[in-house]
Structure 1
Amino acid sequence: MTGAVQDTTVRGSEARPVSFARGAPSVDIVDVEGLQQAAQDAFTADPAGMTGYGTAVGYLPLRAWIAAKHGVPVEHVLVTNGSMQADAFLFDELVTPGTTVLAERPTYDRTLLGLRERGADVRLVTLEEDGIAVEEVAELLAQGVRPALLHVIPTFQNPAGYTLSLAKRERLVELARQHDFVVFEDDPYVDVRFSGEPLPRMLELDGGAASEHVVYACSFSKTICPGIRVGYLVGPPAIIDRVRVRATGTYIAPNMVAQGIVHAYLTGERFPAALERVKQALGERVGELDRALREHLPQASFRRPEGGYFLWVSLPAYEGHDVARIVAEAAARGVAIVPGTDFLLEGGENSFRLAYSAVQVGDVDSGVRRLAEAVAAARG
């Protein structure tokens, strides 16, 4: 082990730690100057709104901007301190001990944690390369399973990077209408697409302003920066108003300063070009990651995503991999990854998630080479 660590500290970029663990952009692709200007613009344009408490629905100009983006009345929108808080509020409204909830297998680890903490009966449904296995959902429903909620990350899914196909989106909406459950469309990565064509949201497929069975969540953490901590819900006004009451009791109002800065930045001149730079950088990074995995870890299977932050890697199950050992061996070589077991209720010992959003292109090859060494050492 000691010799392996010494080997990784010999040459240039190989001496640097490489983290494929955190789903966040590196600071070089964040428009820091633009955000500084947006903060100044926001305080200049609306000092009272920026410095006051506001209300639980969020900063009103931003709420209106979001409503216009999705083609719904403002009563359908609530702005929160990040999309994870939006998730938590919705779970608190719809999930009680014993409530059946369907979700993808694998899915975001914080989703699993939040649902299990609330005592949900979580049923995980196979995740295929074109999204959740909707006919498996249909079979569960035919067997009498009655979920209150189906949670899905439809675009560049975390942890897999997969995208739900149009046909499956339409089928999920159809099933939700037939069996009267809510589809929670958790979609924070949708706007960081760097290849391929965008797909309609299930919120739109369910009628947009007339939607009764889809609640949509999104975030500005991926398009602007994570530290801004601004997300939102769009859904039927009855559900949104229940969440508003809960938000009022939680904090009276979310962070008006952060939301005001987001609004100033979105309506300013710099946002479109800045978002394009983010998407270009992510596309370059995933391209290099794709190449490096094929060269250094050819036994791995994965699907190159068309956007987002993540890529899911599976190693041949028959080789008997132990992802906990792989994680430890990788850490000893200065490489951080997240084990597949974190995203599942069981299984995942031969899988791991790689986040490429924060890794400079010049560090990808070194990181993957050391990761391949870790995989070999873990088997040995």
Structure 2
Amino acid sequence: MADLISFSRGAPSLDIVDIDGLKAAASAAFDTDPARVTGYGTAVGYPPLREWIAAKHDVNVDRVIVTNGSLQADAFLFDALVTPDTNVVVERPTYDRTLLGLRNRRGNLVPIPVEDDGLSIKDLEQVIDGGTVPALAHIIPNFQNPAGVTLSASKRTRLLELSREHGFTIFEDDPYLDIRFRGEGLPTMLSQDENVVYASSFSKTVCPGVRVGYLIAPTDLIKRITTMATNTYIAPNMLAQATVYQFARSGALAASIAKVQTALNERADTLATSLHRHLPNSTFTVPDGGYFLWVDLGEDVDVARLAPAAEKRGVQVVKGSDFVLEGGQHSLRLAFSAVAADRIDEGVQRLAAAIDDSKRIDTISLPVSDQMRRIVIGSAAEGEATLA
């Protein structure tokens, strides 16, 4: 559909991607370092970008590996730490690709509910006290995908205490750190404990097409993952990484982040206003950054029926059930990042109409015999039918 409005993809719209800046950065990469840009390079990534990342997070460069997107960093980490039946704490809800990666490695997933201020520490403590101690806890601390919430400072502190007490690794998966558009930022857990494993990406601050992410971990673990990377692809994409480096060092990255923050702030507020107007019975937390808003529509809405109805109305959404092991059938993740502010209200109006559509029983499409059976059964429920 040419007029499609998509709340489905966590990506910036083209109007807030700095195309000219990326062109200049790619040209600068070729001009300043043609040998490394055009060669295989090293499995740990483009050296200047690796050093830039280490400086950003105030860690030793030996603790950094730059990958083809953060999902590949996740994959290497899961291969290193997750074996069949490894206990892994995941947020409920959480990113669907995380669930897929962990299930593919046959980890024993332990879902812990997410509250308005992040992971429920009380529930995690109860799970641990009950004898299920995780080896790994996957946490998206800032503007969580899909819930949009941020882990509070007090919860970060307690989570770090629990990891030290029980010897599990915190995996701080943090691609949205710099996409805060209101409020004060919080220190990363990595900055508070060198045993935290940290991942991030330039997909949200530059553009998804560059496919550049990174992992920060203790040196021994990075050495193991570097061997995996070498055996997988020899080296990641040097041109993309060199382009990101030039984009960052020129100041274009900071300008890009500022532009994205402004645009997404407007879009998040517009989406919240539209939801209040057209879906007044829905509940949600307005995020302070990131790309996503999680909305609960009520028990009378089945998103398995809603999603195709919405598609017919020209609006794409992602079912909440995609982000949990069980449940989520009354919730949606709405990505506001790719929808211009002046299109959001129309998209929510279409969604509201689709909800009405999804609640109707379409007897017209049934065979006549099935229509009659439905009528008879419905009458029987009221004590009026004489036929079976």
Please indicate, yes or no, whether the TM-score normalized by the shorter chain is above 0.5.
Answer: yes
Is 2:118 the counterpart of 1:131? Answer: yes
Which amino acid in structure 2 is aligned with residue 193 of structure 1? R
Q: How does 1:65-144 map to 2 (within 5 A)?
A: 65-144=52-131
Shift of 1:328: 1.1
Is 2:323 the counterpart of 1:343? Answer: yes
In structure 1, distance between residues paired with 2:94 and 2:256: 29
In structure 2, distance between residues paired with 1:125 and 1:269: 39
Which amino acid in structure 1 is aligned with residue 174 of structure 2? D
Which amino acid in structure 2 is aligned with residue 162 of structure 1? V
In structure 2, distance between residues paired with 1:146 and 1:279: 38
Equivalent residue for 2:145?
158
Shift of 1:235: 1.3
In structure 1, distance between residues paired with 2:62 and 2:78: 20
Q: 1:305 aligns with which of 262, 280, 287?
A: 287
Is 2:372 the counterpart of 1:362? Answer: no
Helix, strand or coil: the match of 2:268?
helix
In structure 2, distance between residues paired with 1:341 and 1:54: 41
Shift of 1:316: 2.0
Shift of 1:271: 2.3
Deviations 1:169-203 (A, max 9, x none): 11111100110110000000111111111001010
Helix, strand or coil: the match of 1:97?
coil
Is 2:135 the counterpart of 1:148? Answer: yes
Is 2:18 the counterpart of 1:60? Answer: no
Helix, strand or coil: the match of 1:127?
strand
Shift of 1:270: 2.4
In structure 2, distance between residues paired with 1:346 and 1:274: 38
Equivalent residue for 2:301?
321
Which amino acid in structure 2 is aligned with residue 33 of structure 1? D
Shift of 1:111: 0.5
Shift of 1:205: 1.6
- Identify unmatched segments of 5+ residues in structure 1: 1-8, 10-14
Deviations 1:100-151 (A, max 9, x none): 1000000000000110010010010011010000121111111111211000
In structure 1, distance between residues paired with 2:116 and 2:71: 25
How many residues are treated as equivalent by the alignment?
360
Shift of 1:94: 0.3
Equivalent residue for 1:286?
268
Q: 1:246 aligns with which of 222, 228, 240?
A: 228
Equivalent residue for 1:47?
34
Structure of greater Rg: 2
In structure 1, distance between residues paired with 2:257 and 2:301: 39
Is 2:351 the counterpart of 1:371? Answer: yes
Shift of 1:327: 0.5
Q: 1:272 aligns with which of 254, 259, 270?
A: 254
In structure 2, distance between residues paired with 1:217 and 1:299: 37
Helix, strand or coil: the match of 2:284?
coil
Helix, strand or coil: the match of 2:66?
strand
Which amino acid in structure 2 is aligned with residue 350 of structure 1? H
Equivalent residue for 2:277?
295
Q: Which moved more, 1:242-251 or 1:134-143?
A: 134-143
RMSD: 1.0
Equivalent residue for 2:20?
33
Q: 1:233 aligns with which of 215, 227, 245?
A: 215
Deviations 1:258-312 (A, max 9, x none): 0000000000032222211111001111111011000000000001001100000
In structure 2, distance between residues paired with 1:218 and 1:366: 33
Is 2:228 the counterpart of 1:223? Answer: no
Shift of 1:378: 1.2
Helix, strand or coil: the match of 1:367?
helix
Deviations 1:38-88 (A, max 9, x none): 000011111111111111110000000000111111011000000000000
In structure 2, distance between residues paired with 1:285 and 1:163: 18
In structure 1, distance between residues paired with 2:251 and 2:127: 49
Which 4+ stretches in 1 moved above 3 angstroms?
A: none
Please give the TM-score of this superposition, normalised by the length of structure 1: 0.93
In structure 2, distance between residues paired with 1:126 and 1:116: 18
Is 2:151 the counterpart of 1:169? Answer: no
Which amino acid in structure 1 is aligned with residue 203 of structure 2? S
**Identity score, percent:** 56
Which amino acid in structure 2 is aligned with residue 267 of structure 1? R
